[in-house]
Amino acid sequence: MKYSSAKTPIHSVTLAELQERFQEMGQPAYRAKQVLEWLYAKRAGSFAAMSNLPAALREHLDAAFGFEVPELVRKTGSEDTTQKFLFKLADASLIETVLIPASPALYGEGSDRRTLCVSSQVGCAYGCKFCASGLSGFSRHLHAGEIIDQFLRVEDLSGERVNNIVFMGMGEPLANFDNFLRAVTILNAPWGIGLGARHMTVSTSGLAPQIRALAAQPLQIRLAVSLHGATDAVRDQIMPVNRKYPLAELLDACDEYCRRKSQRITLEFILIEGINDSLEQAAEMGKIARRLEAKINCIPYNPVEGLQWKRPSLRRQEAFMAALERTGADATIRREKGGDIDAACGQLRLQVSREEN
Ligand code: SAH
Ligand code: SF4
């Protein structure tokens, strides 16, 4: 990975790498653990703050590694609703991070789940026709530190402790595979954030080879697949990725993931009027979910300014859900309140870049 500055971002570094570096410098190995404790347990914002390290070492670290604190450009939402953070990175790229605080409406009474939705790329190359992130094209991958920084910054700004993370923000995480895996490693590690892999979900538009590659990894990350169409005809119309990895190939990869991880995956289905909301699609979708023993998560489409797609009427949504249930599939529909703020990732950035132009 090439970084925008000559310094390696400190939040991209693993324990093993830091230990190796310290060994080369003739420093004792325990120093690496000390540095990571400052970073993740004590949330230090500079090497200068690491008071139990020798001054010369702190200076050396400062010369070799960078702290890149993403700048908050805008925040929408309030403490008890979904909060969206728009961050400016070191190279002035804009990304979005969303915090969904404990929400009985979403997770059920008594749940203390606080979910963070992170971006994995600046823009997205996959160009799904309905998506704001794909609209302005792809700029670059995020490095692992930029993913970790979203977590650290939002915890710091909100005062909340995040206990669940979803890779459902801007970008296609599995197209940025190495940085994604590195970030997951740091999030999961006892020397890092210490979040259980089962509390992390990656969403993909359907990159079959990368789903297989992830299946071969030991971490029990949850998988969500953005299906949005139960046939190639429908997927081809709205998701260009389907021409590369058609449904049969994608579903085989999903099968492999379920088998190797002994895990139930989630199939995401955004309901778009006149595109995928027919009763035939519901019936086909039910078959797919039963074959994979997957859960289906239906989400009424969030209209994007400048795009023609619409959310189906409540009646049509209900008819679709009833048809799905008749197949015996395990399906839920997510209708959270405050749709304006809950607008899908990519929309806030789009809005700000339009204001600037
Ligand atoms: N690239 C990955 C992850 C980011 S998108 C993927 O596509 O899965 C996260 C989810 O938001 C995906 O299911 C995506 O299809 C959905 N999404 C994108 N635009 C949306 C919109 N306007 N309304 C509702 N969901 C949307
Ligand atoms: Fe990219 Fe996902 Fe949006 Fe498709 S839905 S353009 S893959 S971010």
d(CA 247, CA 267): 13
User: Per DSSP, which regions of the chain are E strands?
Assistant: 8-9, 65-66, 71-76, 83-88, 94-100, 115-117, 121-123, 138-141, 164-167, 200-204, 222-226, 266-271, 295-300, 330-333
Centre a 10 Å sphere on the Cβ of residue 109 and count the other Cβ atoms it contains: 6
77 lines ligand 2 (CB under 6 A): no
- What DSSP designation does 176 have? G
pLDDT of residue 252: 98
Does residue 132 line the site of ligand 2, with CB under 6 A? Answer: no
Q: Rg (Cα) of the chain, in Å, rounded?
A: 21
Instruction: Provide the pLDDT for residue 278.
Output: 98
CA of residue 131 to ligand 1 center, whole Å: 7
Pocket test for ligand 1, best of 133, 242, 270 (most atoms within 8 A of CB): 270
Q: If you search the block for the tokens 């799905």, which residue do you land on?
A: 324
Residue-level pLDDT at 101: 81
Q: How far is CA 275 from the centre of its chain?
A: 25
Confidence (pLDDT) at 340: 45
Ligand 1: which of 82, 122, 131, 296 to mutate, most ligand atoms within 8 Å of CB? Answer: 131
CATH superfamily of 71-356: Aldolase class I (3.20.20.70)
Q: Which ligand is nearest to the CA of 133?
A: 2
Q: pLDDT at position 138, please? A: 96
Count the alpha carbons within 13 Å of 258 in the hemisphere toward its beta carbon. Answer: 19
> Of 271, 292, 100, which Cα lies nearest the Cα of 211?
292
Q: Answer yes or no: is the C-beta of 168 below 6 A from any ligand 2 atom.
A: no
Over the range 324-346, which residues count as b (16 or more CB within 10 Å of their CB) and which as e?
A: beebebbbebeeeeeeebbbbbb
Residue 306 neighbours by CB distance under 10 Å: 9
Joined together, the tokens standing for residue 4 give: 């925008």
The closest alpha carbon to 126, from 233, 3, 243, 221, belongs to 243
Exposed, middle or buried: residue 106 (CB in 10 Å: 0-12, 13-18, 19+)? middle
The CATH number assigned to the domain with range 8-66 reads 1.10.150.530
Residue 258: other Cβ atoms inside 10 A = 16
Global pTM reads: 0.94
pLDDT for position 337: 47
- Three-class secondary structure of residue 15 per DSSP: helix
Sorted by where each begins, the domain ranges of the chain are 8-66, 71-356
Mean pLDDT by groups of 10 residues along the chain of 357 residues: 77 96 91 97 96 94 92 86 92 93 63 89 95 88 98 96 94 98 98 97 97 97 97 98 98 98 96 98 98 95 91 97 97 68 53 55
User: Is the beta carbon of 347 within 6 A of some atom in ligand 2?
Assistant: no
Q: What pLDDT is recorded for position 343?
A: 47
- How far from the centroid of its chain's Cα atoms is residue 142's Cα? 12
Ligand 1 contact, 166 CB (< 6 A): no
